[in-house]
Amino acid sequence: MTRRSELPGPPPGHRRRAVADESGAANGPGHAGADRRTGSVRMRRISRGAGAAVALGLLAAGCGGTDSGGTSAGGNTVTIGVAGDPGGMNPLTTLASSAVMMNRFAYDSLVNIQPDGRIASGIAETWTADTTTANFTLRRGVMCDDGTSLTPSAIAAQYNYIGDPANKSPMAGLLVPVGATATADDAAGTLTLKSPEPAPFLLRSAGTVQLVCPSGMRSQEKLDQASDGTGPYRLTEVVAGDHFTFTKRPGYTWGPDGADNAATPDRVVFKFVGNESTRTNLLLGGQLDVARVIGADRARLTAAGLGFEIQRDPFGMLLFNEAPNRVTADAQVRWALIAALDLKQIGAVATGGKGAPATRLGTTMAPPCPTDSVTANLPPHDVARAAEALRAAGWKKSGGRWSKDGRQLSLAMPYPGYQGNQVIAAVELAVRQWKAFGVKVDTSQTSQSTNVSTLMAGQWDIAWAPISVPTPDQNLVFFSGPKPAEGLNLGATDNPEYQRLTAEAMTKPDTAGCPEWTAAEAELIKRVDVVTFMDSNSPWFTRRYAFEVDGGGILPTTLRKAAKR
């Protein structure tokens, strides 16, 4: 039996299987069966619909586990702790990455993207796609929670709902092109999705929408309390602020590459445990089965010999509000604010020294375009040059504070406090550095349920707001196009060079446009519309379960109790 030391983590795209025997000792890497990948520009990942969630990050980096594994809940139950209640589980509307992760247990997608970039089957057995059209031949016998068959026409109805601008779906423009239409042939078992404009990653994005069954589409208000999908589990219990329970469905055989759920636990409980040290103590005490721990407590878990698997996520990201009434509308001010910060130090604090420098804007694990768009374009840490930039923008320093036209340079900064004490400490460090530079900063913590709404309200200047997406085109809605409430351009970004380059990239299929996508991201960094500087390498620890993870979290069909040795 081998024991793994605490390492920074594998490179993006690498995946390890977490395995622990009954005593809690790790027993090395292996393959636990078919897997799937989800992605989030929020949507992220790509496996079974990790889509939007991902996206706004607005990612729950403080996830961990809490259960009984047969100890407190009884029976074949595993409990996975998460940092907090996402505030809604409707897969048609949620942008919370924790909700998307949990919904993977209850909803399937047409295809699944693996961390190595391979496209695996889902509800669709075969497919073809270009930049405007995707054709799918679906599996027969896929059943909804209510016992009815999921037909191509039912799936087409969901895509048409999302693509119709009148419905204002948050998935439109993120996973599904605005104005996209779908047609179906139930007799032939086929579905065709057409985009009115070129969509280079049409298959990777639209193919990973979490599919809702017809009764759920008709009664969407019920989807926050109970699932209505075709996944390996169904959501059977919602206790707001405490836990959600998913119960295994019988007869599930249409997972990624035909995976089933025969060996998975009977129940999966997601328990809300906000304090990371509490999660660690419960896991070490045998009351938890799985916990994601990114802070200093991870050292206790590795020392105890627990198995783990690394998930890499965008984490350290600062987004600017460029609306005309905000001080950060001035590019020189934005550049100066970042040059005044020691991003390397702040990123190390946020990740406990276990992170890795970001090299792409928001894409996770195995991005389709891997070339570094970030490192060479970040403003240097240079306080003197930061001061020069502010003076050039008309600001003057007096009494240790910057002011202009009688107005002190001050910032409103929301940040996701639910991501843990290390993020709180990192934000406090940034505030101290800005204060020493002469800038006033008022911070406010957001919860998982208020994070997105706070950003969309627009009453902020700079935000700690990690965005996670599986493909670079999904960043478009965040950095171009309509502002809230009509769109998701949260920072009112208007970067002409980014728009020119992405327009060119959109005409090229899949990875053929990677040079343009990379150059476009670089333009956002250069103009300091957004700054991404650190990814997290987050281990999911376990005492007695085996599983695999991707950019969206645990892969449901790989979760199983580890064999005794």
Task: Name the one residue in this structure whose structure tokens are 């620890």.
Answer: 541
Residue 50, pLDDT score: 33
Instruction: Please check whether residue 414 is in contact with residue 445, taking contact to mean a CB–CB distance below 8 angstroms.
Output: yes
Q: Whole-angstrom Cα distance, residue 306 to residue 288?
A: 12
Instruction: Please check whether residue 48 is in contact with residue 210, taking contact to mean a CB–CB distance below 8 angstroms.
Output: yes
Q: Whole-angstrom Cα distance, residue 552 to residue 430?
A: 28
Find the length of the chain.
565
Contacts of 540 (CB under 8 A, 6+ apart): 18, 63, 65, 290, 291, 292, 308, 309, 311, 547, 549, 553, 554
Task: Encode 299-323: b = buried (16+ Cβ within 10 Å), e = exposed.
Answer: ebbbeebbbbbbbbbbbbbbbbbbe
**Residue ranges per structural domain of the chain:** 314-537
DSSP string, 35-82: ----EETBEEB-SSS-HHHHHTT---TT------TTSSS-SSEEEEEE
Instruction: Please check whether residue 413 is in contact with residue 433, taking contact to mean a CB–CB distance below 8 angstroms.
Output: no
Residue 115, pLDDT score: 67
Three-state secondary-structure class, residue 513: helix
Task: Name the one residue in this structure whose structure tokens are 């202009």.
Answer: 404
Instruction: Please check whether residue 376 is in contact with residue 529, taking contact to mean a CB–CB distance below 8 angstroms.
Output: no
Q: Whole-angstrom Cα distance, residue 311 to residue 15?
A: 8
Q: Integer distance in angstroms from the first to the last C-alpha of the chain?
A: 10
Q: Whole-angstrom Cα distance, residue 350 to residue 315?
A: 8
The first and second tokens of residue 539, run together, are 């281990």
Residue 28, pLDDT score: 29
Pairing of strands 77-82, 267-272: parallel
180 conformational bin, left if phi > 0, alpha if psi -120 to 50, beta if neither:
beta
CATH entry, 314-537, from 3.40.720.10, 3.40.50.2300, 3.40.50.720, 3.10.105.10: 3.10.105.10
Three-state secondary-structure class, residue 92: coil
The first and second tokens of residue 157, run together, are 């109805």
Instruction: Please check whether residue 1 is in contact with residue 305, taking contact to mean a CB–CB distance below 8 angstroms.
Output: no
Residue 75, pLDDT score: 54
DSSP classification of residue 501: H
Residue type, 381: H
Three-state secondary-structure class, residue 448: coil
Residue 345, pLDDT score: 98
Q: Whole-angstrom Cα distance, residue 372 to residue 314?
A: 14
Q: Whole-angstrom Cα distance, residue 257 to residue 277?
A: 38
**pLDDT per residue rounded down to tens, the chain (565 residues):** 223 333 333 333 333 334 333 223 323 222 222 222 222 223 332 232 333 333 444 333 233 333 333 333 345 999 898 878 888 999 999 878 889 999 999 999 999 987 677 889 999 999 999 999 999 999 999 999 999 999 999 999 999 999 999 998 989 988 899 899 999 999 999 999 999 999 999 998 899 999 999 999 999 999 999 999 999 999 999 999 999 999 999 999 999 999 999 999 999 999 998 888 999 999 999 888 998 887 789 899 999 999 998 988 899 999 999 999 999 999 999 999 999 999 999 999 999 898 999 999 998 777 889 999 999 999 999 999 999 999 999 999 999 999 999 999 999 999 999 888 899 999 999 999 999 999 999 999 998 789 989 999 999 999 999 998 888 998 999 999 999 988 999 999 999 999 999 999 999 988 899 999 999 999 999 999 999 999 998 899 998 899 988 878 899 999 998 865 3
Q: How far is CA 260 from CA 71, 251, 428, in A?
A: 26, 8, 46
Residue 419, pLDDT score: 84
Q: In the sheet that 401-404 helps form, which strands lie side by side, from edge to edge?
A: 396-398, 401-404, 407-408
30 C-beta neighbours (distance < 10 Å), count: 11
Three-state secondary-structure class, residue 431: helix
HEC string of 10-26 equals CCCCCCCEECECCCCCE
DSSP string, 169-186: -TTBTTTB-TT-EEEEET
Q: Identify the burial level of 137 via C-beta atoms within 10 angstroms of its C-beta, where 0-12 means exposed, 13-18 middle and 19 or more buried.
A: middle
The first and second tokens of residue 380, run together, are 């240097």
Q: How far is CA 99 from CA 60, 158, 247, 276, in A?
A: 9, 19, 16, 19
Provide the whole-model pTM: 0.71
Nearest to residue 314, comparing CAs of 56, 126, 106? 56
Residue 49, pLDDT score: 30
Q: Whole-angstrom Cα distance, residue 226 to residue 106?
A: 10
Residue 65, pLDDT score: 31
Strand partners, 180: none
Instruction: Please check whether residue 547 is in contact with residue 311, taking contact to mean a CB–CB distance below 8 angstroms.
Output: no
Residue 564, pLDDT score: 55
